[in-house]
Structure 1
Amino acid sequence: MVLPRNYDSQNCSIARSLEVVGDRWTMLVVRSAFEGVRRFDDYQDVLGIARNVLTDRLTRLCEEGILRRVRYQERPDRYEYRLTRKGVELWPTMMTLMRWGDRHYAPSGPPVVVSHLGCTGALGENLTCDACGKRLQPNEVEARPGPGAGL
């Protein structure tokens, strides 16, 4: 059986979500946005993505309300892409996916360690600080290279 290219016939929130964020490049664009990437050329540099693919992903993420396009320069017009509230709501999903990947696909340790800003703790279970127990938000963490970063 061949899977259809979309999930219109499925009454399933997972399938509908995958229609929007279910491909590799889209999730990596969103990850980069959480890392502070804003401009087209910076996305391209960080991801090594083809211009046409990046244009497609950024357009779709804006259409879906996950990113918003904001002009930062006139003559010529230049834009940057910022996460919306809907986009920021993907942070728990991104962190859970990262932690799952660290457990199952990072034999030398996590490539990135996320820690609580101003605290000694790392991002723990249920998105809480493993030192102070505070439930963390994206603006309360920093990402640093982990033991598996050099591989």
Structure 2
Amino acid sequence: MHDDPNLTCPVARALEVVGDRWSLLLVRDAFDGIRRFGDFQRSLGMSRSMLSQRLQALQAAGVLVQQPAADGSRYHDYVLTAQGQALFALVVALRQWGEGFLFAEGEPRSQLLALADGRPLAPLLPRDADGQVLEASATHVVRPDEG
């Protein structure tokens, strides 16, 4: 009997946490400095109930944590945890894929620039342990039942 391969797949597990549009957009907005419920709602235009549900799920998964507001007001801030911060590469990879394939030449779009020099980030590319760029064809997935 074969187990569901999704149970042992890190991609499938990650998608359980951040695999829907709203969750990734909330993470993107948190990287962009949004912290408050109302600000997330204004940015994304989603219903209060949907936003509340997604924020709770991201907290339960350890991606966000709710803290008293930094300004001392009665509000709360939603802040990325270390686990949430580790999603930065995923957000950048999705951004770069979108820039490369989903915009026409010269079409206006937002840009992600390095603070240090104001230039766009270098393309994210998978690399082996020695730093050599790898294509998908140069990799192999080993499933637990394959040893």
Percent identity of the aligned residues? 36
Aligned twin of 1:66: 63
Q: Which runs of 5+ in 1 are unaligned?
A: 1-6, 128-151
Aligned twin of 2:96: 99
Q: 1:68 touches 1:84 (CA, 8 Å); kept in 2?
A: yes
Corresponding position: 1:18 with 2:24: no
The residue identity in structure 2 corresponding to 1:56 is: Q
Q: Distance in 2 between matches of 1:47 and 1:38?
A: 13
Match for 1:113 among 111, 118, 130? Answer: 111
CA deviation profile, 1:73-119 (whole Å, cap 9, x unmatched): 56xx4211001110000000100011001111011446111111131
- Normalising by structure 1, report the TM-score: 0.72
Q: Distance in 2 between matches of 1:101 and 1:84?
A: 26
Aligned twin of 2:46: 49
Corresponding position: 1:30 with 2:59: no
> Do the aligned partners of residues 12 and 105 (structure 1) sit closer, same or farther apart at CA in structure 2, a change above 3 Å counting?
same
The two structures, once aligned, show a CA RMSD in angstroms of: 2.0
Q: 2:6 touches 2:12 (CA, 8 Å); kept in 1?
A: no
The residue identity in structure 2 corresponding to 1:112 is: S
> Do the aligned partners of residues 54 and 8 (structure 1) sit closer, same or farther apart at CA in structure 2, a change above 3 Å counting?
farther
> Do the aligned partners of residues 10 and 78 (structure 1) sit closer, same or farther apart at CA in structure 2, a change above 3 Å counting?
same
The residue identity in structure 2 corresponding to 1:117 is: L
> Do the aligned partners of residues 59 and 91 (structure 1) sit closer, same or farther apart at CA in structure 2, a change above 3 Å counting?
same
The count of aligned residue pairs is 119
Aligned twin of 1:147: none
Q: Choose between structure 1 and 2: higher strand proportion.
A: 1
The residue identity in structure 1 corresponding to 2:99 is: D
Q: Distance in 2 between matches of 1:124 and 1:109?
A: 20
Q: CA deviation at 1:60?
A: 0.7
Q: CA deviation at 1:41?
A: 0.3
- Normalising by structure 2, report the TM-score: 0.74
Secondary structure at 1:68 match in 2? strand
Moved more, 110-119 or 15-24: 110-119
